[in-house]
A and B are shown apart, each in its own frame.
Chain A
Amino acid sequence: MRPTAAHAVRYYAPRTRFRGGTNGLGGVVLSEHQIAIEMTWSDQVSECRSGVLERRLAAISCIESDQGDSTYSFSGHIRYAATADHNQLHVKEYRVRGIHLDGPDLGSIQYRTRGESLFEVGSDRCFQMHVELLWTDRNNTDAVVQSVLRGTLLENHKLAYISTSTNGTIALGEDGEGEVCLRTPALW
């Protein structure tokens, strides 16, 4: 099936929170900025170029903010290559983009890997990748956040049970800085 804009809105994520608050010093800080996205990864793994596999993802997330609920469409991909012995995973690119659909417009959100990385895959086929992501939104141009991707590399080179946890500090415009906490649980 070819992903289209019409299809994208079928995907869903349960909850995103985006709230600000005032600290005791009088400055405005983000007291809670959490995004939990239930990402749907496509079943098919395609070869986007020689030896490089691609798995696509999509999600719709409801972002809860002080201004009301926003709806965002997230889409993206992970491009990777696995060694023949399944012991290493070479991540070429991991990129996700969130587009505003409805409600208060918080601007476009994008996060992506800085470059290519090589990771070990355990004897149980599980991997855990620690990567730096560049986070871009209307207040940030490539802010750096930390992400951990976990999952399983099957012998057919599909990635299964992928989950991510992303944390870091981002600028909030006039609101100063805030912590971003984004989780995409493994679906099972």
Chain B
Amino acid sequence: MKAGQSTAPLAWEIDEARDWQSHYVEHGFCVLRGLIDGLMCSSALDEARRLIDDTRPLEEWDSIRPGQRHTVYYYGQAPAIDELIEHPALSSVLRTFFGQRAFQFGSTNGADPDRRRFALWVNPYDAGARRRLLPMGHVDSGSPFRGTAIQIALARTSPFSGNTTFFPGSHREMQRWIEEHKEDFDGSWPGGVYPELRRQFPPWEFVAKPGDVVLSHHLLFHSGNPSHADDRSARVSVRVEVFPEHPLTEKRPDSADGSVFERSLAHYHRSNR
């Protein structure tokens, strides 16, 4: 499977010659175009409309109604989206990604407050916004060794539809920084924006069609953006985290020969041998 071609006028373009695995290791993310079939995405979008309680065409959505949403749903509350997350093509990618460590989405025990969940991200047209991509991005809080983040597009978007942007290769800079400041960490991770860290490349915007999927590293700088596309298209996507079934016992793998997951966390060690 190849990293897909962008449909956007990007400042940074994905190298189509790279396979998604090496792309993820080097750049901290990969895009898998059309990984999930349109029919399933259509069902999931219907489910999203039900959850949001707005059946109007997406082009009629705006920042007032239904407004921007970042809503979390637990396993079982949105079966069509649960099914999307369990899509065989995505599972196949994740098996490759985690290798012998295998993967899981979290407990499905209804009594577990930390159980499996996803976030529905809705970023509709904002009449007051400007067409721009934010310049810095941030790294999320939480252990950067916990797995990877998946974003599944449910709707077609255009440039400046409020898409997520990713800063290619910034996960390597962040790893270097952590290695140099490792005495400060006791296992927790606050995340942040780290303006002093150089972003080697301009951001790449995830302009999507339904079924396009991005996997992104937990140390990769990324950002939400204003939604003000010419065609008023709204960004509607599902964001879910996936974890290794067998977690890393060390904070940082010392081997560059392991799974995509392990290799993407081994940059600093590798570059200093």
* A binding-site residues for B, Cβ under 8 Å: 1-3, 7, 10-14, 38, 40-44, 58, 60, 124-126, 152, 154-157, 160-161, 185-188
- Of chain A, the residue at the smallest CB distance from B52 is A124
Evaluate contact between A1 and B190: CB separation under 8 angstroms: yes
Contact pattern, B 163-176, Cβ under 8 Å of A = 1, otherwise 0:
01000000000000
Residue of B117, B190, B193 with most partner-chain A CB within 10 A:
B190
Q: How far is the CA of A14 from the CA of B113 in the complex (A)?
A: 34
**Residues in A whose Cβ lies below 8 Å from that of B134:** 14
Task: From B32-40, B70-78, B250-258, B263-271, give the one contacting chain A.
Answer: B70-78
**Residues in A whose Cβ lies below 8 Å from that of B196:** 10
Residue of B72, B141, B164, B189 with most partner-chain A CB within 10 A:
B72
**Residues in B whose Cβ lies below 8 Å from that of A43:** 140-142, 188-191
Nearest Cβ distance between residue A60 and chain B, in whole angstroms? Answer: 7
Known: A154-B117, A185-B224. 20 other contacts (CB 8 A): A1-B186, A7-B190, A12-B192, A12-B194, A14-B134, A40-B138, A40-B190, A40-B192, A41-B141, A43-B142, A43-B191, A44-B141, A58-B190, A58-B192, A124-B51, A157-B113, A160-B70, A186-B70, A187-B224, A188-B164
Cβ-defined partner of A40 (8 Å) among B68, B117, B193, B224? B193
- Of chain B, the residue at the smallest CB distance from A157 is B113
Chain B contributes a number of interface residues (CB within 8 A of A) equal to 34
Q: How far is the CA of A125 from the CA of B196 in the complex (A)?
A: 36
Task: Give the dominant DSSP class at A's interface.
Answer: loop
Q: Please provide the chain B residues from 193 to 208 with a CB less than 8 Å away from any CB of chain A in the complex.
A: 193-196
Contact A154/B72 with A40-B193, A42-B190 known, Cβ cut-off 8 Å: yes
B136 at the interface (CB under 8 A from A): yes
Q: How far is the CA of A156 from the CA of B193 in the complex (A)?
A: 26
- Of chain B, the residue at the smallest CB distance from A60 is B195
Contact pattern, B 58-79, Cβ under 8 Å of A = 1, otherwise 0:
0000000000101110100000
Cβ-defined partner of A154 (8 Å) among B113, B184, B188? B113
**Residues in A whose Cβ lies below 8 Å from that of B136:** 12, 14
Contact A155/B113 with A10-B196, A43-B142, A160-B70 known, Cβ cut-off 8 Å: yes
